[in-house]
Structure 1
Amino acid sequence: MSKKSNHLMLRFWQVGLLLAVLVAWHIAAQDRNFAFFFGQPLEVAKVIWKWFITDANIYHHLGITLTETLLAFVIGTVFGLLFGLWLGLSPGASALLDPYITAANSMPRVILAPIFGMWFGLGIWSKVALAVTLVFFIVFFNVYQGVREVSTTLLDNARMLGANRKQLLRHVYIPSATSWVFSSLHTSVGLAFVGAVVGEYLGSASGVGYLILQAEGTLDVNTVFAGIVVLTVFALVLDGLVTLVEDRMLAWRPKAGVTEKL
């Protein structure tokens, strides 16, 4: 079979698996006890339809959450990239700061949410700050590792050809770290959403996390699952955008076959 046929077959089975899960969920939800804890797929769909079409009241909340997510994603990525490059190229600073960075990364950063709330208030910036702490370390460690993994033979050859420090950074270190950066960005997108929603959950008057919290307070499990579905779909959209940018910037990378992806 051709690669195109394999790809279509893979998509067919993926969609089939999703439909099977939804059908099994619908059948199981006929039991009232099950439906109380896990909701009903048709009711979840009705909530989503109401949010986007009938009442159209989700757009403000979704806009807040997406704004927090994108700000945290960009800020955390930029600072993680810069800090990772700096420490990767500075052995002395790396050795000095290593125990502190390890300690900061080991800390459960969700506990910082109340502190950020005190510092930045209950607006978007307290949520952005929490999400940045999640994104930053993922990007930082991948960039740091990517810089340190550069082949010494490649560096020696570049120096023999007369490359200075700036040229080494541009033509050797950054290209080497790029694939590591993009591997971290796929995880960072999800973590940016997590930070934003958790921040809204702990203290907010808007956002999808706020809607989920309100639904939990009234034991409305269908609305809770509707919020989860909406967040998941938009997280997948952002991850797809990262993949598009990755494919453009890493066009030199050999394409993996469908069987390799599986």
Structure 2
Amino acid sequence: MPPGRRQGRGQGRGRGRYGRRHRVLLYAGRVAVGGLTLLLWQFASGRWVDPFFVSSPSDVAARLAALVRSGELWPHLLTTLAEFGAGLGIGTAGGIALGLAIAFSGLVGQWFHPYVMALYSLPRVALAPLFIVWFGIGLTSKVTMVATMVIFAVFYNVYEGIRSIDPDLLDMARAHRASFLRTLRWIVFPALTPWLLTALRLGVGLALIGAVIAELVGSSAGLGYYIKNSSNLLDITGVFAGLAVITAVAMTFDTLVGALSRYLLRYR
């Protein structure tokens, strides 16, 4: 076997061992940070801080177990997930369409750009009561709230991603008389993949925030509703239990988007 090939294989095995060791250290460190945080919280509750204000991890875990056993958790969780999923999908599709339209419409797109920025600057928390007046306290107002949280994050990533494309590639496509759809397929969307994945990662957090805010303002179900109801009853353990579920949902979807990113960007 040629020396170069033997050296290449040895380097590949070295990189594999380093990659596995890095992943082990990464996940072990994350577990250690989380575990130490919970231990510190448990120790501080009742010693340094009144448990009425911060509860404790053991009480929160007991409450979550009780919610699971009684089945009370699932209607709230499924309601929030439905709002989250529908709003994220609509906001992502709308942001992509808006970004493509403004980026490729030339001067006309520039007419609309400052108005998009003006809409982006509006606080969505202030719009939540308006959505309830328009659409009621049902699913529609919550999905609208989530979509408005997501659409601008996706729009700006798409818009900036298109502006970062090498103009020579677009000129070459025009010189070869490529249709707009072929230009999107072979040039635009491959270049936008990292931008879209970043937007999706941001959108996951924004979608959850939008769903919970809408439920806090007015709803009859959902994790935000459960947190608000617990707060009204001064049930701090219930508040932290709802927050724990929201955090778990966010971490789960962030992990899924991270796995999708590694798969789609494996060429890097």
> TM-score if structure 1 supplies the norm length?
0.91
State the one-letter code of the partner of 1:208. L
1:86 maps to which residue? 101
Q: Deviations over 1:176-205 (max 9, x none)?
A: 122111101001011111111111111111
- Of 27, 31, 36, the residue aligned with 2:52 is 36
List gaps (5 residues or longer) in structure 2: 1-16
Deviation at 1:168, TM superposition (A): 1.6
Matches within 5 A, 1:1-262: 2-31=18-47, 33-52=49-68, 54-252=69-267, 254=268
Deviation at 1:161, TM superposition (A): 4.0
State the one-letter code of the partner of 1:241. L
State the one-letter code of the partner of 1:41. P
Q: Is the 8 A contact 2:61 2:241 kept in 1?
A: yes
Q: Deviations over 1:33-58 (max 9, x none)?
A: 43122111110000111111x21211
Q: Deviations over 1:208-236 (max 9, x none)?
A: 11110011111111111111110110111
Higher mean C-alpha displacement, 135-144 vs 231-240: 231-240
Deviation at 1:169, TM superposition (A): 2.1
Q: Is the 8 A contact 2:102 2:113 kept in 1?
A: no
Q: CA RMSD in A?
A: 1.5
Deviation at 1:7, TM superposition (A): 1.1
Deviation at 1:156, TM superposition (A): 2.6
| Distance of 2:75 and 2:160 partners within structure 1 | 39
| Distance of 2:213 and 2:46 partners within structure 1 | 32
> TM-score if structure 2 supplies the norm length?
0.89
